[in-house]
């Protein structure tokens, strides 16, 4: 099996790449989705987060208030590192379990969407990497559509490597300042040579 890591800046189209690959019946896991599962009520990671950041990150029912946690970690690099120390080892363990299952099933390809692929030194675990990228203007438009203001957008962009650095480190690039059809064509071309 060829294991391919997909990375890119926030709002640049990683999830769309994942959806297109799922439509082609390839196994795909998204580390953002894994992170969401890890912080559900009763999960050990949520308990650690509360211990590290206080009960103000929980609502009255004990669910994580993501916006509250984001305010803390995206304005404080040390706090963000603390959160990453809690989540990243668990995230890696979870996607590696999925990859083992794909290998047992003899899948020809497997894809892991990892926004911080290079930042977390995960690249050596992949046969190839794809950077999904777009212009900063398009990125900001997409993030505003999520309801984020310019400060929130800038904080999140600053929390990742610059997209050009991700491109430079990747084996392939999918440029998403275009239609979904062209996005799909780019992925199909990569699969022929990866």
CB 176 within 8 A of CB 134: yes
DSSP state of 163: H
C-alpha to C-alpha distance for 169 and 38, rounded to whole angstroms: 29
**Whether pLDDT at 159 is above 90:** no
CB 134 within 8 A of CB 177: yes
CB 126 within 8 A of CB 4: yes
Encoding tokens for residue 54? Answer: 């206080």
Half-sphere exposure of 17 (CA within 13 A, CB side): 34
**Whether pLDDT at 165 is above 90:** yes
Parse the chain into domains and list their residue ranges.
2-193
C-alpha to C-alpha distance for 172 and 187, rounded to whole angstroms: 9
**Whether pLDDT at 9 is above 90:** yes
Per-residue pLDDT tens over the stretch 104-150: 999 999 999 999 999 999 999 999 999 999 999 999 999 999 999 99
Instruction: Quote the pTM value.
Output: 0.92
Among 2.40.170.20, 3.40.50.300, 3.20.20.70, 1.10.10.10, name the CATH number for the domain at 2-193: 3.40.50.300
């Amino acid at each position: 099996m060829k294991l391919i890591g997909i990375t890119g800046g926030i709002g640049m189209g990683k999830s769309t790449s994942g959806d297109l690959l799922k439509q082609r019946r390839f196994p795909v896991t998204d580390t953002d989705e894994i992170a969401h599962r890890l912080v559900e009520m009763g999960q050990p990671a949520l308990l650690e987060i509360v211990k590290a950041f206080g009960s103000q990150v929980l609502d009255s029912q004990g669910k994580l208030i993501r916006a509250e946690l984001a305010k803390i970690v995206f304005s404080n690099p040390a706090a963000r590192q603390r959160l990453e120390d809690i989540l990243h080892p668990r995230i890696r363990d979870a996607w590696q379990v999925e990859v083992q299952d794909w290998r047992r099933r003899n899948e020809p390809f497997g894809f892991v969407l990892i926004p911080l692929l290079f930042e977390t030194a995960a690249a050596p675990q992949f046969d190839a990497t794809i950077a999904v990228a777009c212009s900063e203007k398009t990125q900001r438009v997409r993030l505003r559509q999520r309801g984020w203001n310019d400060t929130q957008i800038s904080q999140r962009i600053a929390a990742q490597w610059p997209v050009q650095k991700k491109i430079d480190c990747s084996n392939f690039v999918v440029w998403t300042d275009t239609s979904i059809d062209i996005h799909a064509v780019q992925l199909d071309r990569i699969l022929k040579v990866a």
